[in-house]
Amino acid sequence: MIVLVAALGAVAVVTGLLVFTVDSMARATFLLLASFVAVAVVLIGFGLGYLGTVVILMMTVEMMIMVVFMVMLMMNPAGLMPMSMVHHRAGSWAIALVVFGVLTAGAWLVPFPTAGPPAPADPTVALGDALMGPWMPTMMVLGLALLATIVGTTAVAVSRR
């Protein structure tokens, strides 16, 4: 398990860094998606199946929409002309190093608790209660309404030849 988490963590970090090295917005989007999926698989490996699945579904749909709009609207969507994905390189490095230092110091200096509360009987129900509380049925109905809207708009938008 530790080897799998380390390998997926390395995949997430490498693909996240590659986002800034490719010269195409579409390639950068797919690399970012790979990074998110690697993190989601780690979540699933830790027993957070619902959260990992939601991350995979949400990021996949979001990244596909982003690629479609980039191909439609960007002047250089496929990277046919050289371009840089990084702006203000010196400032970016300075901010990244400061943030890395603060996060590293926090990881080493903050006393983490040794034991947490006992795990709930059904973590999915506990997560739903924590996120939505008494509004969970309303949000479930809204989710179905949004799904119906997406399916309906797709059906209307598709050309019928």
pLDDT tens per residue, range 72-116: 777 665 655 666 666 788 898 899 999 999 999 999 999 888 888
Residue 8 predicted with pLDDT over 80: yes
pTM score of the predicted model: 0.56
The answer to whether 56 and 40 are in contact (CB under 8 A) is yes
Give the three-class secondary structure for 125: helix
Q: What band does 35 get if pLDDT is binned at 50, 70 and 90? A: very high
CA atoms within a 13 Å half-sphere pointing along the CA-CB vector of 119: 6
Q: How far apart are CA 34 and CA 148, in angstroms?
A: 28
Res. 37: pLDDT tops 90? yes
- The whole-angstrom separation of Cα 102 and Cα 112 is 16
Helix axes 25-45, 2-18, angle to 10 degrees: 160
Phi/psi for 39 (5° steps) reads -65, -40
Across the chain, mean pLDDT equals 86
Could you tell me the CA-to-CA distances from 119 to 47, 111, 116 in Å, in that order?
12, 21, 8
